[in-house]
């Protein structure tokens, strides 16, 4: 969300599809041959697939899960069953953001987050924390702008991180401590950057590490997978190297992975090189928010689904070659509740289909692509 929304470019999209058809951006073993075997997902709604992504993933030492929302888990039983059947880990999509935890500058409200943690644990699942320091307006409380300034911003940030991380200490899989700090190669002009300064990252990670010394702390970023985003990959490496050289606690890179053709396509070679640079630092790699924008591609649903599945196949095939990649999480699991319905609706008015399960909770070709990618991944 930090990068300006590029207008979808039909030409670039067609180029991507052309390249995919020729096999030039297809990962070995998980490309066109696998797609050729795709059958439309079985009809029959919830539970129609007896395969679960979490089980296939776990055979390779991978943790599979999804972002989700408390209200959907509470109000939609079929959906909750699907999440429980398919996922080994969940992430509250909004409920642990400052906006939702902080009704006013002096109060913390943990009831919804606690409910989600309890739901996850009672279904044998883990939960990730997302996101402590996030400069996006939609993540900040309504009182933030009138209250936070140069004089109190550091105290506000430190109090927020230490209280929230202590509350959940020992109970979460990992925390996204800072989310989307970059604009290209440079630190983005968020309120945290403006009021605390560039040291805010180091302060944030140290504060989180002190509040829960055993927590797995993640830096989470968007749009770093696209071929054209060399700047952002370099900026990410600079952040990671900076934290490590100051001995601030940082354990993993979260790659959001909201795949988008209009961002200029994806190149396995560049991605492999970047992932090796990250794993050479001793960091784990988490795919944290996988989905696929599909504003303009094709019109027929079968073609659209194949195209999305192909992108997932290429992407997962490449990332999972790196054995430090240990978590794969989609940003919700079904088209019924995708944030892209609002964020990036199709221009032709049809509903978007960015996720492995459709609106009726039946698996799609993307589900098959994920199963195959997990099956082809080396063990870790």
The footprint of ligand XIL (CB under 6 A) covers 1, 93-94, 131, 138, 179, 222, 256, 289, 339
Nearest approach, Cβ of 276 to ligand XIL (angstroms)?
A: 25
**φ, ψ of residue 39 in degrees (nearest 5):** -110, 150
Which of residues 49 and 257 has its CB atom nearest to ligand XIL in the complex? 257
Which of residues 322 and 330 has its CB atom nearest to ligand XIL in the complex? 330
DSSP summary character for residue 225: S
Nearest approach, Cβ of 51 to ligand XIL (angstroms)?
A: 26
Which of residues 93 and 371 has its CB atom nearest to ligand XIL in the complex? 93
Residue 340 to residues 70, 96, 330, Cα–Cα distance (Å): 18, 20, 12
CB-based contacts of 291: which residues, under 8 Å, 6+ apart? 257, 258, 259, 330, 331, 332, 338, 340, 354, 355
- Distance between CA atoms of residues 291 and 308, nearest Å: 9
Which of residues 267 and 289 has its CB atom nearest to ligand XIL in the complex? 289
- Distance between CA atoms of residues 239 and 181, nearest Å: 9
Q: Which residue is nearest to ligand XIL (CB)?
A: 339
Which of residues 98 and 165 has its CB atom nearest to ligand XIL in the complex? 98
Which of residues 99 and 376 has its CB atom nearest to ligand XIL in the complex? 99
Instruction: Kindly state the tokens that stand for 294.
Output: 């599909």
Q: Where are the beta strands (DSSP E) in 86-243?
A: 89-92, 126-134, 174-179, 182-183, 186-187, 217-221
Nearest approach, Cβ of 48 to ligand XIL (angstroms)?
A: 26
Strand partners, 330: 66, 290
Nearest approach, Cβ of 182 to ligand XIL (angstroms)?
A: 13
Which of residues 132 and 271 has its CB atom nearest to ligand XIL in the complex? 132
Nearest approach, Cβ of 1 to ligand XIL (angstroms)?
A: 5
Q: Using alpha carbons only, how large is the chain's radius of gyration in Å?
A: 20
Nearest approach, Cβ of 279 to ligand XIL (angstroms)?
A: 22
- Distance between CA atoms of residues 4 and 264, nearest Å: 14
Nearest approach, Cβ of 354 to ligand XIL (angstroms)?
A: 12
């Amino acid at each position: 969300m930090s990068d300006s929304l590029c207008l979808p470019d039909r030409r670039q999209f067609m180029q991507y599809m052309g390249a995919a058809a020729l096999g030039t951006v297809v990962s070995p073993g998980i490309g066109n041959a696998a797609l050729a075997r795709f059958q439309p997902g079985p009809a029959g709604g919830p539970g129609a697939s007896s395969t679960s992504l979490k089980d296939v993933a776990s055979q390779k030492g991978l943790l599979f899960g999804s972002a989700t929302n408390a209200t959907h888990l509470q109000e939609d039983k079929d959906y909750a069953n699907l999440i429980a059947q398919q996922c080994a880990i969940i992430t509250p999509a909004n409920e642990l953001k400052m906006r939702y935890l902080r009704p006013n500058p002096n109060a913390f409200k943990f009831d919804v987050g606690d409910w989600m943690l309890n739901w996850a644990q009672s279904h044998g699942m883990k939960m990730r924390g997302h996101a402590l320091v996030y400069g996006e307006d939609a993540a900040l409380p309504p009182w933030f702008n009138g209250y936070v300034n140069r004089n109190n911003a550091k105290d506000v940030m430190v109090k927020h991180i230490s209280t929230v991380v202590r509350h959940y200490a020992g109970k979460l899989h990992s925390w996204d401590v800072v989310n989307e700090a970059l604009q290209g190669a440079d630190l983005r002009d968020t309120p945290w950057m403006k009021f605390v300064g560039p040291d805010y990252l180091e302060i944030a990670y140290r504060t989180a590490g002190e509040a829960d010394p055993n927590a797995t702390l993640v830096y989470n970023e968007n749009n770093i997978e696209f071929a054209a985003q060399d700047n952002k990959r370099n900026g990410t490496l600079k952040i990671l190297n900076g934290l490590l050289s100051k001995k601030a606690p940082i354990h993993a890179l979260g790659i959001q992975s909201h795949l988008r053709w209009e961002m200029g396509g994806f190149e396995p070679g560049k991605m492999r090189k970047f992932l090796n640079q990250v794993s050479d630092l001793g960091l784990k790699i988490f795919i944290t928010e996988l989905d696929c924008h599909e504003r303009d591609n094709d019109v027929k649903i079968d073609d659209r689904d194949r195209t999305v599945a192909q992108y997932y196949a290429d992407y997962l095939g490449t990332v999972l070659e790196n054995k430090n990649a240990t978590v794969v999480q989609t940003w919700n699991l079904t088209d019924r509740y995708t944030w892209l319905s609002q964020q990036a609706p199709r221009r032709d008015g049809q509903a978007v289909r960015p996720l492995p399960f459709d609106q009726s909770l039946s698996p799609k070709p993307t589900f098959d692509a994920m199963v195959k990618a997990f099956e082809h991944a080396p063990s870790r």
